[in-house]
């Protein structure tokens, strides 16, 4: 057990468990000595059952059971207390490091360290180490009982055989260390990718990439499940063979010793039987091999990770590819399955009147999140193909809800919504969603390269198309100055770029998506004046390619048609 200060407060509970395990070994050994005596009396028909021996056996068994129960109680309380303490210490360390330290880290891995790794460390230290030390002491205590109450020479021979136990454990540890590390790394990477996908879900849904990323995560999860099950099956076989062969060896050696020493007159029948029974406790360390693979190795790895985090501020890092092609990854990043695409965009389905492509028609729409509290009331709105329309209004007026209806994310309580010539219903919701690209108010950039973040909208986009999209939002010059160009990581949640640059990257995604309808929710709410001017120009260029509907509370942003939304109603409009 490492003497790191982070883990020191949990050591007393471990020592209590070691003491309990040692006492249990001695009391179980006492039971076996008594049972050996009773069996010998049973074989000797002239002997009578010794009441004191029976009483001693019962008393020893009760003490062993009470010790086992006490050990489990201490273990449960210790795991709970140590988990809380470790999570608090790690969280305080994370706050002390500050957000700048995490620009190259994947939050999912940090969360996994504070949750899954903490559980594995406490299960290892508070639940397994005490049992392991107790199991290692068991052969020594058992041999001591055999030397005192049976035969010192037999005990000495068994003592010489005990070193085979640590040799077997060390060999097994080396055998499984590599595969266990690979399995642990796969789990950590998958946890990080899954959490990042959840965090960026609004962006993925807005760009209609959620299904693609979900399929990739599902495939990765299934691959991890199969690999884990195969690994567990193989190691269960190794465990079974190792424990069986070693147990047979130790018991056979004890039987042979008991036979020889009884023939020599050195031990009685009761002593010979007790020696064979005691030999079953010599294999206790072998029974912990399985725990070492399932608990020990994961716990030790978690300890190393936490120690590095606390001492040197080393943050768990990993690689995530929310979208895009594997050839655009950073050097050293493992290749992952990228969604196939034959074109830079996934075109929306064409249904209904082709002349209505990109058009939006909202008629008599009511909507409420809770019964009796309407958010939109009798709304009528028509947006022609390739027309740019701004929804003006204060926060809470219903602008974002109206955008949600047009995007197909919400269904009206009454009235009709047509997008791209398709009526919005529960059956056509996915089809309506596929017609638009949505740029959210809060841009989410994944912990991946600039190219990979752009290809979320168009998995098959070429580098030339990426550069063209960056030109449209006036970021091409900036991107050419980056150390790795398009392959430069932007940091988790875009910590490597400014807020204005992040919003313009989101607009570049909309250019790449190539959808007939683009929906923008407060695109300039969190940018500086320079970026706001660039975004205004980019929206004008978008309007030349697609129908644009945006929500804003800044009248200065409106260059085309404006619609006023107040109290859930469309009150007036101007051009």
Judged against a pLDDT cut of 60, whether residue 88 lies above it is answered with: yes
Per-residue pLDDT of 281-307, as tens digits, reads: 887 776 666 566 667 777 888 888 888
CB 465 within 8 A of CB 347: no
Domain match, 298 and 370 both: no
> pLDDT category, 12, cuts 50, 70, 90?
confident
pLDDT, mean of residues 204-227? 76
Higher pLDDT, 414 or 199: 414
CB 247 within 8 A of CB 286: yes
Per-residue pLDDT of 505-516, as tens digits, reads: 888 998 988 889
CB 476 within 8 A of CB 239: no
Judged against a pLDDT cut of 80, whether residue 132 lies above it is answered with: yes
Q: What is the DSSP string of 443-471?
A: ----SSBHHHHHTTT-TT--HHHHHHHHH
Domain match, 294 and 418 both: no
Domain match, 55 and 184 both: yes
CATH number of the domain where residue 534 is located:
3.40.50.300
Domain match, 84 and 221 both: yes
Identify whether 324 is part of a domain: no
Domain match, 298 and 421 both: no
Q: Which residue do the tokens 């009441």 mark? A: 51
Identify whether 345 is part of a domain: no
Identify whether 244 is part of a domain: yes
CATH number of the domain where residue 298 is located:
1.20.1560.10
Identify whether 347 is part of a domain: no
> What is the pLDDT, as a whole number, of residue 338?
35
Identify any residues that bridge with 374 across adjacent strands, giving them in sequence order. Answer: 368
Higher pLDDT, 345 or 527: 527
> pLDDT category, 495, cuts 50, 70, 90?
low
CB 473 within 8 A of CB 502: no
Domain match, 244 and 381 both: no
Domain match, 407 and 279 both: no
Calculate ∠ Cα 384-385-389, nearest 5°: 55
pLDDT, mean of residues 529-542? 82
Q: Which of 288, 312, 336 is the last residue of a domain?
A: 312
Q: Determine the Cα–Cα distance for residues 487 and 489; give it in Å rounded to an integer.
A: 6
Domain match, 22 and 169 both: yes
Identify whether 412 is part of a domain: yes
Domain match, 361 and 303 both: no
Judged against a pLDDT cut of 60, whether residue 71 lies above it is answered with: yes
Domain residues for 213? 8-312
Q: What is the DSSP string of 289-314?
A: HHHIIIIIHHHHHHHHHHHHHHHH-P
Per-residue pLDDT of 446-492, as tens digits, reads: 878 889 888 888 888 899 999 999 998 888 888 888 888 888 888 76
pLDDT mean across residues, the chain: 79
Identify whether 442 is part of a domain: yes
Judged against a pLDDT cut of 70, whether residue 365 lies above it is answered with: yes
Identify whether 379 is part of a domain: yes
Domain match, 208 and 138 both: yes
How many domains are contained in the chain? 2
> pLDDT category, 273, cuts 50, 70, 90?
very high
Judged against a pLDDT cut of 60, whether residue 350 lies above it is answered with: no
Higher pLDDT, 428 or 349: 428
Q: Which of 312, 344, 378 is the last residue of a domain?
A: 312
> What is the pLDDT, as a whole number, of residue 535?
84
- Residue 499's CB: how many other CB atoms inside 10 A? 15
User: What's the Rg (C-alpha) of the chain?
Assistant: 35
Burial class of residue 574 in the structure, from the number of CB atoms within 10 Å of its CB (0-12 exposed, 13-18 middle, 19+ buried): exposed
HSE value, Cβ hemisphere, 13 Å, CA-based, for 511 = 24
Q: Which of 251, 284, 312 is the last residue of a domain?
A: 312
> What is the pLDDT, as a whole number, of residue 1?
44
> What is the pLDDT, as a whole number, of residue 149?
92
Is the Cα torsion angle 506, 510, 513, 517 positive or negative in sign? positive
Identify whether 308 is part of a domain: yes
Long-range contacts of 29-34 (CB under 8 A, 24+ apart): 29/141, 29/142, 29/145, 29/278, 29/281, 30/56, 30/57, 30/60, 30/145, 31/57, 31/60, 31/61, 31/64, 32/274, 32/277, 32/278, 32/280, 32/281, 33/145, 33/149, 33/150, 33/274, 33/278, 34/60
């Amino acid at each position: 057990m490492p003497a790191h200060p982070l883990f020191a407060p949990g050591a007393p509970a471990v020592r209590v468990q070691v003491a309990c395990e040692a006492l249990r070994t001695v009391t179980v050994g006492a039971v076996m000595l008594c049972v050996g005596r009773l069996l010998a009396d049973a074989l000797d028909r002239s002997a009578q059952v010794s009441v004191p021996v029976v009483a001693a056996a019962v008393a020893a068994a009760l003490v062993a059971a009470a010790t086992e129960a006490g050990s489990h109680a201490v273990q449960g309380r210790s795991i709970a207390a140590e988990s809380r303490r470790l999570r608090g210490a790690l969280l305080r360390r994370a706050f002390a490091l500050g957000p700048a330290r995490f620009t190259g880290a994947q939050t999912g891995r940090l969360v996994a360290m504070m949750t899954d790794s903490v559980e594995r460390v406490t299960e290892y230290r508070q639940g397994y180490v005490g049992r392991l030390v107790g199991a290692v002491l068991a052969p020594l205590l058992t041999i001591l009982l055999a030397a005192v109450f049976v035969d010192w020479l037999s005990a000495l021979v068994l003592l010489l055989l005990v070193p085979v136990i640590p040799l077997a454990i060390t060999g097994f540890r080396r055998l499984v260390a590599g595969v266990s590390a690979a399995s642990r790394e796969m789990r950590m990477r998958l946890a990080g990718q899954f959490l990042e996908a959840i965090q960026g879900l609004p962006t993925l849904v807005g760009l209609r990439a959620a299904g693609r990323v979900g399929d990739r995560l599902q495939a990765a999860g299934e691959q991890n499940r199969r690999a884990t099950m195969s690994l567990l099956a193989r190691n269960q076989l190794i465990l079974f063979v190792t424990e069986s062969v070693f147990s047979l060896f130790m018991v056979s050696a004890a039987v042979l010793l008991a036979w020889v020493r009884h023939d020599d007159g050195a031990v009685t029948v009761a002593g010979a039987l007790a020696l064979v029974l005691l030999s079953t406790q010599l294999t206790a360390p072998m029974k912990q091999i399985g725990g070492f693979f399932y608990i020990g190795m994961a716990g030790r790895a978690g300890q190393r990770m936490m120690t590095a985090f606390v001492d040197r501020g080393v943050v768990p890092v990993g690689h995530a590819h929310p979208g895009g092609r594997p050839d655009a990854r950073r050097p050293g990043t493992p290749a992952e399955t990228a969604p196939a695409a034959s074109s830079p965009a996934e075109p929306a389905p064409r249904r209904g009147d082709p002349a209505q492509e990109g058009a939006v028609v909202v008629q008599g729409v009511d909507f409420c999140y809770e019964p009796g509290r309407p958010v939109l009331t009798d709304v009528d709105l028509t947006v022609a193909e390739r027309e740019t329309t701004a929804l003006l209004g204060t926060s809470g007026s219903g602008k974002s809800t109206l955008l949600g209806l047009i995007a197909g994310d919400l269904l009206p309580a009454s009235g009709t919504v047509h997008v791209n010539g398709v009526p919005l219903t529960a059956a056509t919701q996915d089809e309506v969603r596929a017609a638009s690209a949505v740029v959210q108010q809060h841009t989410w950039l994944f912990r991946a390269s600039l190219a990979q973040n752009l290809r979320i909208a168009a998995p098959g986009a070429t580098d030339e198309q990426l550069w063209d999209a960056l030109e449209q939002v006036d970021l091409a010059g900036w991107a050419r100055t980056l150390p790795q160009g398009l392959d430069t990581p932007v940091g988790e949640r875009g910590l490597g770029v400014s807020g204005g640059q992040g919003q313009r990257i989101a607009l570049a995604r909309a250019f790449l998506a190539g959808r007939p309808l683009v929906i923008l929710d407060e695109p300039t709410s969190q940018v500086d004046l320079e970026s706001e001017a660039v975004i205004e120009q980019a929206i004008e260029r978008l309007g030349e390619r697609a129908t644009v509907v945006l929500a804003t509370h800044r009248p200065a942003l409106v260059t085309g048609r404006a619609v006023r939304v107040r109290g859930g109603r469309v009150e007036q409009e101007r051009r």
